[in-house]
């Protein structure tokens, strides 16, 4: 039992499972073998969907009462890249000079190991009884298409009537050093393609043609130059980037028939995907009015923007980080998306884990000392959570 509470041994055990998405690689089995004897009710949740690989997931809960704190993470890892470039084999979990090297050490098997170790400590100190519930929501499909993982697990939780009160995501949130940043939200992302169709013709006879580029240039100029907002309490300003304009016209004497432009908007809580779509539709209509040009816009499925307003959950986590590292973590909403974007639909969610400097790289690594410090942070967080949060 003692070694089960050692975050380095747990992280090493997980890293030795070659769980490159969508392969389970033994990583979920590894967790079940520890969680079940500790009293967790474990549910393996394999999901499939045509056109995507089958994925295995794990939900494990101890306790039946509220408050229910869930720890969310993923055991899948990105491919190793050029294996010959690694200084030690990526699934060996080698420790040298206080550094643990291995694929997934930071993103995010290390984080899972730390929370598991902290939880087992907490349970032992409380004789296996807790004033609420703790669960692990572990997916094998975060680094992949993310369709057979957290989204479907949340649907399953709802169908089972499993209410979660708060969620801590163990993704590596610190850019440089442990204690840098807690993520309390993420900006939304909306990607679209605008296609404008005109009438092809000879450049010398423009009256017989309709140039779609004229419409595209004026529309993109307005979209690109518009100040969406100046930021909000927790977010940077929203931003639209035109990422591609394709005409495919190799002739200098031909007015083309069609232009396709792609753009992405990273937006804060002053907007929604629908409000932005409405704004763009209005600009397109206004600029093409009275012309022979036609338009069509296709959007990819958007990610919502969300923020967990600072309150007891954030305070408990921030104070725990402060006690262990002596640092006041920044409350950040920067960076790309994570599975927190799905979890926020069922409960408030915060993210804190290891240092993300080497994630997805060759020689991904973490400092062994950080594993022990993160375990201590999570342990203090558990103490504070169950002492403070009453539902
Ligand atoms: Zn990750």
- Work out the average pLDDT over 15-24: 97
pLDDT value of position 79: 96
**Residue 136: pLDDT band with limits 50, 70, 90:** very high
pLDDT value of position 145: 82
- Mark the residues whose beta carbon lies below 5 A from ion ligand 1: 107-108, 171
Measured between alpha carbons, how far is 174 from 41 in angstroms, rounded to an integer? 32
Q: Ligand 1 center to residue 229 CA distance, Å?
A: 30
- The percent of residues in the chain predicted with pLDDT above 70, rounded, is 99
Residue 2: is its pLDDT beyond 50? no
Residue 350: is its pLDDT beyond 60? yes
76 carries an active-site annotation = yes
Residue 391: is its pLDDT beyond 80? no
Residue 248 has φ and ψ, to the nearest 5°, of: 65, 30
285 carries an active-site annotation = no
Among candidate residues 76, 165, 304, 367, the one labeled active-site is 76
What are the chain's domains?
2-186+305-388 (3.40.630.10), 188-299 (3.30.70.360)
Q: Ligand 1 center to residue 63 CA distance, Å?
A: 27
Q: Ligand 1 center to residue 109 CA distance, Å?
A: 9
**Residue 1: pLDDT band with limits 50, 70, 90:** very low
Q: Ligand 1 center to residue 251 CA distance, Å?
A: 47
The enclosing H or E element of 51 equals: none
Each residue of 183-195: pLDDT tens digit?
A: 999 999 999 999 9
Each residue of 188-225: pLDDT tens digit?
A: 999 999 999 999 999 999 999 999 999 999 999 999 99
User: Count of H helices and E strands in the chain?
Assistant: 9, 19
- Work out the average pLDDT over 309-332: 96
Q: Ligand 1 center to residue 287 CA distance, Å?
A: 42
Q: Is the dihedral of CA 310, 315, 318, 322 positive or negative?
A: positive
**Residue 29: pLDDT band with limits 50, 70, 90:** very high
Q: Ligand 1 center to residue 32 CA distance, Å?
A: 20
Within 8 A by CB and 6+ apart from 108, the residues are 73, 74, 170, 171, 172, 353, 354
Residue 327: both structure tokens together: 């640092």
pLDDT value of position 338: 85
Among candidate residues 24, 107, 141, 142, the one labeled active-site is 142
pLDDT value of position 51: 87
Mean pLDDT of the chain: 95
Q: Is the dihedral of CA 382, 174, 101, 112 positive or negative?
A: positive
Q: How far is CA 387 from CA 67, 121, 185, 216, 380, in A?
A: 11, 16, 25, 58, 10
Q: Ligand 1 center to residue 107 CA distance, Å?
A: 5
Q: What is the pTM for the complete model shown?
A: 0.87
- Work out the average pLDDT over 106-129: 96
């Amino acid at each position: 039992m003692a070694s089960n509470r050692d975050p380095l041994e747990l992280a090493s055990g997980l890293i030795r499972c070659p769980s490159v998405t969508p392969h389970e690689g033994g990583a979920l089995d590894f967790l079940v073998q520890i969680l079940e004897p500790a009293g967790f009710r474990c549910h393996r949740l394999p999901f499939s969907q045509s056109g995507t690989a089958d994925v295995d997931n794990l939900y494990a809960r101890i306790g039946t009462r509220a408050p229910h704190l869930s720890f969310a993470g993923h055991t899948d890892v990105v491919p190793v890249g050029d294996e010959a470039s690694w200084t030690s084999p990526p699934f060996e979990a080698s420790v040298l000079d206080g550094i643990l090297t291995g694929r997934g050490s930071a993103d995010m098997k290390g984080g899972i190991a730390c929370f598991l170790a902290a939880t087992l400590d907490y349970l032992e100190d409380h004789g296996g009884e807790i004033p609420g519930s703790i669960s692990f929501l572990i997916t094998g499909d975060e680094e992949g298409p993310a369709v057979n993982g957290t989204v479907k697990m949340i649907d399953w939780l709802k169908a089972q009537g499993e209410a979660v009160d708060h969620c801590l995501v163990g993704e590596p949130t610190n850019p440089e050093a442990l204690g840098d940043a807690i993520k309390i939200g993420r900006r939304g992302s909306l990607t679209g393609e605008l296609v404008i169709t005109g009438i092809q013709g000879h450049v010398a006879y423009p009256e017989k043609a309709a140039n779609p580029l004229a419409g595209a240039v004026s529309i993109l100029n307005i979209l690109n130059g518009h100040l969406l907002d100046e930021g909000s309490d927790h977010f940077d300003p929203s931003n639209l980037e035109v990422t591609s304009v394709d005409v495919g016209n190799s002739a200098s004497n031909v007015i083309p028939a069609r232009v396709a432009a792609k753009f992405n908007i990273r937006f804060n809580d002053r907007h929604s995907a629908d409000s932005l779509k409405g704004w763009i539709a209005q600009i397109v209509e206004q600029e093409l009015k009275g012309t022979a040009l036609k338009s069509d816009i296709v959007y990819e499925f958007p990610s919502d923007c969300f923020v967990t307003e600072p309150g007891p959950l954030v305070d408990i986590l921030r104070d725990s980080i402060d006690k262990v590292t002596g640092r006041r973590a920044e409350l950040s909403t920067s960076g790309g998306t994570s599975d927190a974007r799905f979890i926020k639909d069922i409960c408030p969610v915060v993210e804190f884990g290891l240092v993300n400097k080497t994630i997805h790289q060759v020689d991904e690594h973490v400092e062994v000392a950080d594993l022990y410090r993160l375990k201590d942070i999570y342990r203090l967080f558990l103490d504070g959570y169950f002492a403070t949060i009453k539902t």
